[in-house]
Structure 1
Amino acid sequence: MKHIDISSPLVTSMPVEDNKDALVSVKGHLNYGPPPECSETEDCYHFLREGVLEKLLHAEQSLPSGFRFRLYEGYRSPEFQDTLFHQQLQRVVLNDPTLSPKDAYSIAAQLVAPTRTYEGLPLFPPRSSGGAVDIEIVDSNGQVIDFGMEIKDWVSVCPSLCETQALGLSPEAVKNRTMLVSVMSEAGFVNYSREWWHFSYGDQYWAYFTGHPYAYYGSVGLARA
């Protein structure tokens, strides 16, 4: 399938009219796992825009009995997002040193949104808007159900396995990915097709795919919470 990358100019050119929704923690409202990536995310990963949390709680009600959401990651500061992008850029270059700097940038940007264009202009990464979520489903024992891989393994698996409609999945994994996309879509979220776990509401990616004239959320600092 054809992907529209999260850093495509089609997406990043969408206007932003921030509605000033506060960043709020999911603590006490939604299950969440340990800090992803590294300890630098510990203070912020469980925050989302208030409107996004409301929609997540609504979507969770549509899950089969005994299943619940678990937030893997929500908000990232623009500064840490920039760090993660450059880490991914280094991995891309190590994997193929023959790539031009611009091609390496484009490949890195498929899985980690940059904070600036290749030319250096500022961007609004979905993760730093508080409108993007990485979400998984756990069973009554708190175990992640079969999605063909776990989110935490995204760095080590083939990128094609991360795609929502990856080939070669078991029937159970296909069913579970389809269920996740269905309940999230019904609640107003848009899935990023390169990552089965990544959903947007209110950010530029959401605005582009829903045809909304502008995004509700731009980059925001945690100090607003």
Structure 2
Amino acid sequence: MKPYQQIAIDECGEPLVPIPPEHFAFEIPHPYQKLGAPYDNSKADSPYYLRQGVVDSLIAAQTHLQQNDPKWKILIFDAYRPIEVQQFMVDYTFNQIALAQGCEFPVPEDKRQVIIEHVYQFWAVPSLDRATPPPHSTGAALDITLVDENNRRLDMGSPIDEISERSYPDYFANSNHPREQQYHRHRQILKNAMINAGFQQHPNEWWHFCLGDQMWAWLTNQNNSGSQLIAQYGRY
């Protein structure tokens, strides 16, 4: 169990709604659908859904971004993720790491344990327990980056979903290299827009933001001594 999963959930019942295409850029075709992830039985007809309140705050973040950088947009890489898709991506990531390490299949138990612990540093456990839902399965978490006026991604120094320390939000913060300083500036611009709209950022992933779920409540409580927030979004 991760620390944020100890946060209580008082589900508010807010619906999942589509992210309005006029405000944002999207990763199309969706990266996990390309891999064969099972969205067929999802409660939404695409991955690009969030809770209504989260969508409202995301629009506020886009507005804040364009006050300083009017030609830039938030690109939605991933949003609502059913449990079945979470399980698929955990399995896929495990297999990719095992292949890269030259493991034989089935992977021996000792190596399996090491790899799965590495996977779970970045991917949430696909838990069916309603008290410990994966963040994306609540409709309150999303993976994003920035694009310029030509719809080209800004370079953040590492790709979304990379399992390495380069994914940590402040990995390039103390670099003296001009290019790496630019990576950090881009990450900070994205973070500032999202934090200004009420989101919290995953401690290990520059691209992951949340609002109203267990991780959001836990991070908010950590940042504000004495705060006792609970989650308003559980598994959808």
- TM bin (shorter chain): 0.7 to 0.9
**Which 10-residue stretch deviates more, 55-64 or 161-170?**
161-170
Question: Aligned-pair distance for 1:148?
Answer: 1.3
Q: 1:100 to 1:160 in 2, by over 3 A?
A: same
- Residue number among 146, 152, 156 corresponding to 1:143 in the alignment: 152
**Which 10-residue stretch deviates more, 84-93 or 136-145?**
84-93
Given that residues 82 and 115 in structure 1 are in contact (C-alpha distance below 8 angstroms), is that contact kept between their aligned partners in structure 2? Answer: yes
Distance 1:71 1:121 in 2: 26
TM-score normalised by length of structure 1? 0.82
TM-score normalised by length of structure 2? 0.78
Q: 1:121 to 1:24 in 2, by over 3 A?
A: closer
- Establish whether residue 67 from structure 1 lines up as the match of residue 72 from structure 2: yes
Question: Aligned-pair distance for 1:103?
Answer: 4.4
Given that residues 83 and 127 in structure 2 are in contact (C-alpha distance below 8 angstroms), is that contact kept between their aligned partners in structure 1? Answer: no
Return 5+ residue gaps in structure 1 as ranges.
Answer: 1-6, 221-225
- Residue number among 190, 194, 207 corresponding to 2:200 in the alignment: 190
Q: Deviations over 1:43-75 (max 9, x none)?
A: 431101111110010011111111111111100
Question: Aligned-pair distance for 1:181?
Answer: 0.9
Question: Aligned-pair distance for 1:185?
Answer: 0.8
Q: Which residue of 2 aligns with 1:110?
A: 121
What is the aligned-residue RMSD (CA, Å)?
Answer: 2.5
Given that residues 44 and 76 in structure 1 are in contact (C-alpha distance below 8 angstroms), is that contact kept between their aligned partners in structure 2? Answer: no
Distance 1:44 1:110 in 2: 26
Q: Which residue of 2 aligns with 1:87?
A: 92
Equivalent residue pairs, number: 207
Task: Find runs of 4+ consecutive structure 1 residues off by over 6 angstroms.
Answer: none
- Establish whether residue 174 from structure 1 lines up as the match of residue 167 from structure 2: no
Question: Aligned-pair distance for 1:29?
Answer: 4.2
**Which 10-residue stretch deviates more, 133-142 or 26-35?**
26-35
Determine helix, strand or coil for the equivalent of 2:64.
coil
* Aligned AA (2:147): V
**Which 10-residue stretch deviates more, 200-209 or 96-105?**
96-105
- Establish whether residue 33 from structure 1 lines up as the match of residue 44 from structure 2: no
Determine helix, strand or coil for the equivalent of 1:38.
helix
Given that residues 115 and 122 in structure 1 are in contact (C-alpha distance below 8 angstroms), is that contact kept between their aligned partners in structure 2? Answer: no
Indicate the structure (1 or 2) with the bigger Cα radius of gyration: 2
Report % sequence identity: 25
Question: Aligned-pair distance for 1:135?
Answer: 1.1
- Report matched runs for 1:182-221 at 5 Å: 182-211=192-221, 212-220=228-236
- Residue number among 50, 53, 57 corresponding to 2:52 in the alignment: 50
- Establish whether residue 24 from structure 1 lines up as the match of residue 29 from structure 2: no
Return 5+ residue gaps in structure 2 as ranges.
Answer: 222-227
- Report matched runs for 1:120-159 at 5 Å: 123-151=132-160, 154-155=161-162, 159=164
